[in-house]
Amino acid sequence: MKLNWRLGQERQHHHKIRSQEARIDFSFKREVFFIVVGGFVGALVMAIPMTFFSPGRSYGYDITWIVFGYIVGVNHPLMSTIIAGIMIHIITGISIGIVSGVFLYKTNILNISKPSNGFYYGLFTGTLVYLIFAIPVEQFVLNPEFKIALSGITSSIRHIHTHTTVEIYSTIFSVVINLLFGITLGLFSSLLSIKFGARYRCPQDCDISFSRIDTLQNHLQFVHGNKPVNRKRIVILGGGFAGVAVLNMLQDRFQTDVSVDITMISKDNYLLFTPMLHEIASGMIETRHIVTPIRTFCKRSRFYCAEAESIDLKDKTIKIRSSVTPILHNSQNPIKPMERNDISLYYDYLVIAVGSETRFFGMSDVQRHAFTIKTLNDAIRLRNHIIYLLEQADQLLPESNHDYNMFIQSQKEILTFVIVGGGFAGVETAGELNDFIRDSINDYYHNVDKSNIKIVIVQSGNRLLPEMSEELAQFALENLRKSGVEIILNSRVVGASEHNVKLKDGNVIPTNTIIWSGGVAPASIVSNLACTHDSKSGRILVDKYLEVPDYEGVFAIGDCALIIDPNTGNPYPPTAQHAIREGSTVAKNIIAEIEKKSDKKEVFDYKTKGMMASIGKRTGVGNLVGIQVHGFLAWWIWRNYYLANLPTLHKKIRVLVDWIIDIFFRRDVTMLKTFSEEQRRI
């Protein structure tokens, strides 16, 4: 929820933020949860010195645990008593944390988005704990129980010292450990709040948010105030793995540095986890579970959901235009398109990470009739198309024996699916769709003859998965064939129509479904750049620092860049793991440039950790740091690796739940109409 609340008496160089100036994205429940966690950690930290350094008792704070256990009625066996005492201790600490947190946010005495305020709040809480809790409990509850507890445990425990010196030392010790509890609670809660809690958004037109209130104060003074600073502007073009990796590292480094301005531009407002895209096409995973809003990552940056119209590398400007057509509703004209104004942005550092587009090698007929499997819309459209064909095949029945052969031929054509390309995308798509189609026919489409199903992979090379070893490629080929997938090697698609696909050798395969995964090319914005490109692939050539030659401050990474492995002399493959590492290297090099440490720029030299592919029926192949694995183990590793690399915790949980559901329940064959499909229907 969004609250406008009093920010306390924060001052920075005579500049004071008033309540009407700050816009805060704030969740009271989340902030109280941080206090709870801080109280738990504080209780644990507090127990350490009390256990090992408590004065006056030979067995230390474990006696207090036993006393707490006696108080709640647990006195046998001894270990149960101690455990009960520990739980009382932790619950008490957490309860105090909750009360302190409510008090903090209801009174607005301090704002813990500053570590120093977290420390002051910790001192305040620790003092409060000692005065309100420690003294009464010590005097009226614990001391009387200590004598009973000590006499009931063992005669070998020495008596509690009552000398004045020891009593004074015990009092000082009690104050210290309660302050330790409070300070730990305050600092830990402050850390969580800065990292995951409230965001303080600039009320000016830049609309950037900060995790700390003092950083917002500096921003308002030095960017919008009377003493503007000379800012370094960083623009990241592309919201894929590479672009987000750059963004995250730069934000972490310059979180409190208002002289660095970071902007993210992406035509989509989400990061798509492409390694699981084929599972969207089969319906195993819900659509939204592998997409994460880019604004989730933009904790210290401005985000534009827009497409790049042009990039001027000499003038260091980029022109962008909104990637959606906004609609303005009013009483006079209920549906009126708004004008899409171009925006020009200046940059000091530019990161080009726009990815790639599907490449059809000039075959316009194939482009017109083929499905692609590169975007979220592609997966949804393909899934809808396959389910539609299954529905049609189930309703296709022969009217007489004379029509039986025609019926068989028609059903075979409807149920023939041709995947062009035998790389990772093609093989994983074929394996997943083969399982989905056959399982769906078993569960729902009982008028369909399974022998009429035909999944075909057309590969131009002499084996599948050319990125992997021949042994793994052969294993994948044999297992796909066993599961019913037909594989055609050493052949290419040269044409297509609405009802067939043509191969180079003259063969024609009757089909209503062509799935293209045969190649990619850089986006048009990359092709039009006035820089050096690779003559074969069209990708941008970069140096060892991933910088575009002749254009200082311009970097290119991901699928749109040709990056040479210094160890092999071959280009790095355009995979997610490489894109993430490239993003990290570029971020480090930009940081080095801004901090005037150019001699510490990092050369990109990354050794591939491994490659994995799922091939259906809980089977996979993989090469992990030189170790070849296949079968169920490879599939299990594939799933765990990609699950661990999903961007956020709640996306991990959602995907895990989807996988568990798939084990116990039937596949879902619901068709999800897209907006464009509904429009065409109307």
Q: Give the strands of the sheet with 619-624, arranged side by side.
A: 610-616, 619-624, 627-631
Could you give the C-alpha distances from 664 to 152, 277, 284, 578, 604, in angstroms and in order? Answer: 55, 22, 12, 35, 45
pLDDT at 147: 55
Q: What's the pLDDT band for 682 if we cut at 50, 70, 90?
A: very low
For residues 184 and 577, give the distance between their C-alpha atoms in angstroms, rounded to a whole number.
37
**How many CB atoms sit inside 10 A of residue 83's CB?**
13
The phi, psi pair for 382, rounded to 5°, reads -65, -40
Q: Which of 203-212, 269-278, 350-359, 438-447 has the lowest mean pLDDT?
A: 203-212
**Locus of tokens 């947190």:** 101
Does 141 score more than 70 pLDDT? no
373: CB partners within 8 A, 6+ apart? 277, 278, 281, 379, 382, 425, 429, 515, 516, 517
**482-509 mean pLDDT:** 94
pLDDT at 200: 74
| Mode of pairing for the β-strands spanning 508-510 and 500-503 | antiparallel
Q: What's the pLDDT band for 7 if we cut at 50, 70, 90?
A: very low
| 633 contacts 621 by C-beta, under 8 angstroms | no
The CATH fold assigned to 230-359+521-608 is FAD/NAD(P)-binding domain (3.50.50)
Per-state percent for the chain, helix, strand, coil, to nearest 5:
45, 20, 35
Helix, strand, or coil (residue 4): coil
Between 523 and 40, where is the model more confident? 523
Could you give the C-alpha distances from 674 to 126, 679, 681, in angstroms and in order? Answer: 57, 9, 11
**Amino acid, res. 572:** Y
Omega within 30 of 0 (cis) for the link into 144: no
Does 8 score more than 50 pLDDT? no
**Where exactly does CATH 3.50.50.100 map onto the chain?**
230-359+521-608, 364-518+611-681
For residues 579 and 559, give the distance between their C-alpha atoms in angstroms, rounded to a whole number.
8
DSSP letter, residue 338: P
pLDDT at 71: 60
Q: How far is CA 256 from the centre of its chain?
A: 23
pTM to 2 decimals?
Answer: 0.76
pLDDT at 631: 94
pLDDT at 580: 94
Between 4 and 592, where is the model more confident? 592
| 201 contacts 191 by C-beta, under 8 angstroms | no
**Locus of tokens 């209780």:** 43
Average pLDDT of the residues of the chain: 81
**46-63 mean pLDDT:** 56
pLDDT digits (tens, 9 = 90+) for 281-322: 999 999 999 999 999 898 889 999 999 999 999 999 999 987
Q: Give the strands of the sheet with 23-25, arranged side by side.
A: 2-3, 23-25, 199-201, 209-210
pLDDT at 111: 63
What tokens were used for 97? 């944390």
**Locus of tokens 């704030």:** 26
For residues 616 and 613, give the distance between their C-alpha atoms in angstroms, rounded to a whole number.
9
| Mode of pairing for the β-strands spanning 454-458 and 416-420 | parallel
pLDDT digits (tens, 9 = 90+) for 412-448: 999 999 999 999 999 999 999 999 999 999 999 998 9
Apex 660 CA angle, 656 and 665, nearest 5: 140
**545-551 mean pLDDT:** 96
- Domain 364-518+611-681 falls under CATH 3.10.105.10: no
pLDDT at 513: 96
**Amino acid, res. 554:** V
What tokens were used for 146? 């200590």
pLDDT at 27: 67
**How many CB atoms sit inside 10 A of residue 290's CB?**
26
Burial class, 571, CB count within 10 angstroms (exposed 0-12 / middle 13-18 / buried 19+): middle
pLDDT at 190: 79
For residues 360 and 570, give the distance between their C-alpha atoms in angstroms, rounded to a whole number.
24
User: Of 174, 210, 181, which is closest to residue 193 (Cα–Cα)?
Assistant: 210
Does 521 score more than 50 pLDDT? yes
pLDDT digits (tens, 9 = 90+) for 208-256: 777 777 777 777 777 777 767 788 999 999 999 999 999 999 998 998 8
| 42 contacts 97 by C-beta, under 8 angstroms | yes
DSSP state letters, 385-426: HHHHHHHHHHH---SSGGGHHHHHHHHHHHTEEEEE--SHHH
Helix residue ranges per DSSP H, 415-564: 424-443, 470-482, 524-527
**531-535 mean pLDDT:** 92
**How many CB atoms sit inside 10 A of residue 304's CB?**
21
The phi, psi pair for 360, rounded to 5°, reads -110, 5
Helix, strand, or coil (residue 127): helix
314: CB partners within 8 A, 6+ apart? 530
**267-285 mean pLDDT:** 93
pLDDT at 275: 93
User: Of 591, 557, 602, 599, which is closest to residue 576 (Cα–Cα)?
Assistant: 557
Q: Which of 291-300, 333-342, 510-519 has the lowest mean pLDDT?
A: 333-342
pLDDT at 9: 33
Q: Which of 46-50, 289-293, 354-358, 448-452 has the lowest mean pLDDT?
A: 46-50
Cα dihedral across residues 12, 15, 16, 19: positive or negative:
negative
pLDDT at 14: 35
Question: Highest mean pLDDT range out of 101-115, 188-202, 223-237, 329-343?
Answer: 223-237
pLDDT digits (tens, 9 = 90+) for 390-405: 999 998 876 655 577 7
pLDDT digits (tens, 9 = 90+) for 629-659: 999 999 999 999 999 999 988 899 999 999 9
pLDDT at 156: 40
pLDDT at 371: 95
For residues 173 and 50, give the distance between their C-alpha atoms in angstroms, rounded to a whole number.
9
pLDDT digits (tens, 9 = 90+) for 456-472: 999 999 999 998 999 99
DSSP letter, residue 161: P
pLDDT at 18: 45
pLDDT digits (tens, 9 = 90+) for 56-114: 444 445 556 666 666 656 666 666 656 666 666 667 767 776 777 667 666 666 666 66
**575-583 mean pLDDT:** 93
What percent of the chain has pLDDT above 70? 75
Q: What H or E segment, with its residue span, contains residue 462? A: none
Between 165 and 106, where is the model more confident? 106
The phi, psi pair for 554, rounded to 5°, reads -110, 125
